[in-house]
């Protein structure tokens, strides 16, 4: 099976913050594909369902929102990898997180690498014990010069950003679908560009 993990912090206090955009992308994907996020498993909120492609392929997909708080996200992911039928985390796991080094709304798919200063991802890499974990970074923009980055990501999006978010979250959910059905290289080629530069999307399908 495939496992998508959105990173964030639990509770209403953090729900609308920039640091929780990983949760929001995963939740949008779940709604689009009719996957109920209701089970309490692996130290998080879990759901499982089927994602269907254009050629009648059907993928078994799990979604996990760790409830361990961001900096301990690796505990939930390690538990899920142990408890689910995940053959290869470098191929079957996809982590979704916020990124202050990307402009607001930009997406960056990568097959692996370091944490880039993101403490939640750093804990995931430490607990899983490998760096070749695919991830989707969602840009939240940089704070103003002299501002504290930790405080910035724990603040809500601006009103203008919130108005723009629905279409950007939908695009991120489509990027996840593309990874599942077309593969990571094809999805990177399509979604690691400026949204306005994107050409009409072809149906995702397994090659």
Please tell me the pTM assigned to this model.
0.92
Q: Is the pLDDT of residue 140 over 60?
A: yes
pLDDT value, residue 29? 98
Question: Catalytic pick from 19, 33, 118, 123?
Answer: 19
Mean pLDDT of the chain: 93
- Of 53 and 101, the structure prediction assigns the larger pLDDT to 101
pLDDT value, residue 194? 83
* Angstrom distance (rounded) from CA 44 to CA 72: 11
Residue 63, CA distances (Å) to 15, 37, 45, 48, 162 in order: 17, 7, 8, 6, 24
Max distance between CA atoms of the chain, in angstroms, equals: 52
Question: In the β-sheet with 58-66, what is the strand arrangement from edge to edge?
Answer: 39-41, 44-52, 58-66, 2-6, 93-99, 135-139, 107-110
pLDDT in tens, 62-103: 999 999 999 999 999 999 999 999 999 999 999 999 999 999
Per-residue confidence at 148, pLDDT binned at 50, 70, 90?
very high
pLDDT value, residue 54? 80
pLDDT value, residue 57? 83
pLDDT value, residue 202? 44
Q: What is residue 94's DSSP assignment?
A: E
pLDDT value, residue 4? 98
Q: Is the pLDDT of residue 56 over 90?
A: no
19 labelled catalytic: yes
pLDDT value, residue 15? 96
pLDDT value, residue 196? 67
Domains of the chain: 2-197 (3.40.50.1470)
DSSP readout, 52-82? Answer: E-TTS-EEEEEEEEE-S-GGGHHHHHHHHHH
Per-residue confidence at 198, pLDDT binned at 50, 70, 90?
low
pLDDT value, residue 200? 44
Percent over 90 (pLDDT), the chain: 89
pLDDT value, residue 207? 37
* Angstrom distance (rounded) from CA 20 to CA 176: 17
pLDDT in tens, 111-134: 999 999 999 999 999 999 999 999
- Of 98 and 54, the structure prediction assigns the larger pLDDT to 98
The dihedral over CA atoms of 30, 36, 40, 41, expressed in degrees to the nearest 10, equals -60
């Amino acid at each position: 099976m495939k496992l998508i993990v959105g990173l964030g912090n639990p509770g209403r206090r953090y729900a609308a913050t920039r640091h929780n955009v990983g949760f929001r992308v995963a939740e949008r994907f779940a709604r689009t594909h009719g996957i109920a996020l209701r089970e309490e498993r692996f130290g998080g909120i879990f759901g499982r369902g089927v994602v269907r492609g254009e050629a009648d392929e059907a993928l078994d997909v799990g979604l996990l929102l760790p409830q361990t708080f961001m900096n301990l996200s690796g505990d939930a992911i390690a538990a899920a990898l142990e408890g689910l039928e995940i053959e290869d985390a470098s191929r079957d796991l996809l982590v979704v997180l916020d990124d202050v080094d990307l402009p607001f709304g930009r997406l960056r798919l990568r097959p692996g690498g370091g944490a880039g200063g993101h403490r939640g991802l750093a804990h995931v890499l430490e607990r899983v014990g490998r760096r070749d974990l695919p991830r989707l970074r969602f840009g939240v923009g940089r704070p103003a010069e002299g501002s504290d980055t930790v405080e910035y990501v724990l603040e809500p999006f601006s009103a203008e950003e919130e108005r723009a978010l629905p279409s950007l979250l939908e695009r991120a959910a489509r990027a996840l679908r593309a990874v599942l059905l077309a593969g990571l290289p094809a999805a990177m080629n399509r979604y690691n560009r400026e949204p306005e530069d994107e050409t009409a999307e072809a149906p995702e399908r397994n090659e």
